[in-house]
Each structure stands twice: as C-alpha cells, then as structure tokens.
Copies of this chain bind each other. A is one copy, B any other.
Amino acid sequence: MTVHNEVVLARPVTAKPGAGDFAVVERRAPNIGEREILVRVAYLSLDPYIGSRLRGKHMGEPAPAPGESLPGFCVGEVVASRHPDFAVGDHVVGECGWSELGVMAGDQARKVDASLPLSAHLGVLGMPGLTAWAGVTQLAKVTAGDVFLVDAAAGAVGGTAGQIARNLGARAIGIAGGAAKCDLVRGAYGFEACVDYKQPGWQDAVKLACERGPSVHFENVGLSVLQSVMPMLRDYGRVVLCGLAEHYQVEGPPASLPIGAIIGKRAQMLGLVVYDFYPRLDEWLALATPWLAEGRLTYVEDVAGGLAAAPAHFEKLMGGDNIGKSIVKVAP
C-alpha cells in the first residue's frame, strides 16, 4: 500500500456540515515518528461531536483548516510501530482521522480484543458506550426505582444508556425522532417506552410514560428537549448534560438554561466529559462484555462501505437520518 485515500476538509464549515464540505485525496504512506504506530483502518467512527470540532466549538480544540485531516476514531491493525507497547498485527483503537492508513499516537491508542466484533470498539465498547456508562452509573448513579429518560435514544449513547439503566433496575423511557427509531428503541433495545418527538403532543406522551416524571434525564440533544423535560422532572431529579448535538451545527447564542428551574426542582445538573473516564474503560468492558454475550445489551450500526462514502454518511448523521451507530467500513 504505497498510496492510500484520506478525506480532508474542502472548505471551512460554518453551519451544518454537508458532503460537499469534504474531499477525498490520495496520499503517500506516511512516516511515523517516535512512539507512533501506523494502522490499516478497518472501521472509522462518525460521531456528533465531530460536527462541533469542524467548527472549532469542541473542548477548545481548533477547527481543522481546508486540506487538513479530519478528527475521528478508528479501529484497525498495526502495520508498523515505533511504540514499545504495540507490534505489527495488533488490533488497536484510537484517533487517526478519516483515512485508510492512519497514524496514531501510541500513548493514546489502546489494544482491543479482536475476538469481539471490531466495529463494536467504536460504539458500545468504545467512546459512546463509555459515555453512557459514565453518565448513568457515575454521574446520575441510577439505581432500581429510578425513572430514566433519555433522548436521541436510538443513538449509540442514548440506546446504551437506557439499556444500562434498565439492567440496573430502572424504568427506561426513550425519546427519538420517527417511528423507525422508536421501534428500535422499544424492540431491539428493550426500553419500556419510546416517544417520537416529531409527533405533536410528544411532551404529554413523555409525561404519561414517566408517570410522576423522570427522576433522571440524560440529555444528548440540547435545549429543545431539555426545556420541555425540566418542568416534568421530579424534585431532586438528576440531569446528565452529555451532548448538545442540535447546537453543534448552528451559529447563534450559546444554549442557556433558566437557573430558576434548576433551583425550583432542586435539580442536579451534571456535566459529562467522557475523556475523563477513558482510564476506567475496563470497568465498563467488564460489565458490557457479559451483557453482550447474554443478550442484555444490544447495539445497532449504520454502516457505509468504503472511505469515499464517509462524507455522505456524515451528512446523514448530521441530519439525524442514521439509525444506530454511524460507522464507515474502510477496509474492503
């Protein structure tokens, strides 16, 4: 493999990113530096946070310039290593961008169990799964008896979060956009109920499903849902602030929440940054791996074939038209 394909930014992204913002370019195989590894990418993960990264609005990291590589997690096989922990043939997950052949910082890469489906390390066993685990178990500390509400419930984070909550004895109620997503949430994911927020009166349906209101709400979307949920929240309710997907794509004033509502509900608003929990991934894997084997944890992927499909697949994700974890199968 002397040349390989990479997807780069074609122009600055200011609003909702679309397929036309990207270009596929041919690159020579890169040289790797000290403590780096070269990875033949099997799967690339597309995630909502990339939308804000492209606009320079994510955790203070600068937006990539046109022509520069794009941020993204990959899983694949090591083909060259200058890091003592990794050998050729190891399977690894880490950040290497939208590329067929990616360079990873070995210190930030992680070996994965190749006997499990490789792509799962980008979803349920990777960052989205860890996000769900951290929010449900470490921030909200969900226990039996909780009424657990989550939006973007068909997504990788939301779907996993609800299943974790249910497995811990809580009632899991989802919010998702459209009948097909709700079918997934109730069916494959086994939530007790799912409300389609594209239907009029969806707020009443959520209220009905939660009975006396949610005791925990896991927010993946942003203000449009949160403002409807806050008045329903039980007193002393916990709200995990995980993602603001709807605000990643648009310019405008920052999403704000009335403080009076937090006080009135005696609520706990809990900010979640998954990066903090990477050192604890093994705790999640120890829980998730048997659950997967027993069928108590299910995941669904929306897979596109070939790196060249990544721009259109990302546009689909940004439009909320994916069902399940958005993945690009890069290796043939």
Contact = CB atoms under 8 A, between A and B. Distances in A.
A332 interface: no
Q: How many monomers of this chain does the complex have?
A: 2
Interface stretch (A7-15, A81-89, A249-257): A249-257
A266 B260 contact: no
A266 B272 contact: yes
Given A254-B259, A259-B223, A276 B271 contact: no
B259 A259 contact: no
A258 interface: yes
A266 B273 contact: yes
For A223, A226, A254, A265, the residue with the greatest tally of chain B CB atoms inside 10 Å of its CB is A254
A244 interface: yes
Contacts of A143: none
Interface string A133-146: 00000000000000
Interface string A232-268: 0000000001101001000000111111111111111
A254 B259 CA distance: 8
Contacts of A267: 269-271
A116 interface: no
Contact of A254 (B258, B268, B273): B258
A221 to B, nearest CB: 11
Contacts of A259: 222-223, 226, 241, 244, 254-257
A276 B269 contact: no
Interface string A261-292: 11111111111110010000000000000000
A215 to B, nearest CB: 15
For A259, A272, A276, the residue with the greatest tally of chain B CB atoms inside 10 Å of its CB is A259
Contacts of A263: 241-242, 244, 271-273
Contact of A271 (B222, B223, B268): B268
B266 A268 contact: no
Contacts of A264: 59-60, 271, 273
Contacts of A270: 267-269
Nearest to A240: B263
Contact of A256 (B244, B257, B272, B273): B257
A265 B247 CA distance: 18
Contacts of A261: 254
A28 to B, nearest CB: 38
17 contacts: A60-B264, A222-B259, A241-B262, A241-B263, A244-B263, A247-B260, A254-B259, A255-B258, A257-B259, A262-B269, A264-B273, A266-B273, A266-B276, A267-B270, A268-B270, A268-B271, A269-B270
Interface of A: 59-60, 222-223, 226, 241-242, 244, 247, 254-273, 276
Nearest 6 A/B pairs, CB to CB: A256-B256, A269-B269, A254-B258, A263-B271, A262-B271, A266-B271
Given A255-B258, A256-B258, 11 more contacts: A60-B264, A241-B262, A256-B259, A262-B271, A263-B271, A264-B271, A266-B272, A266-B273, A266-B276, A267-B270, A267-B271
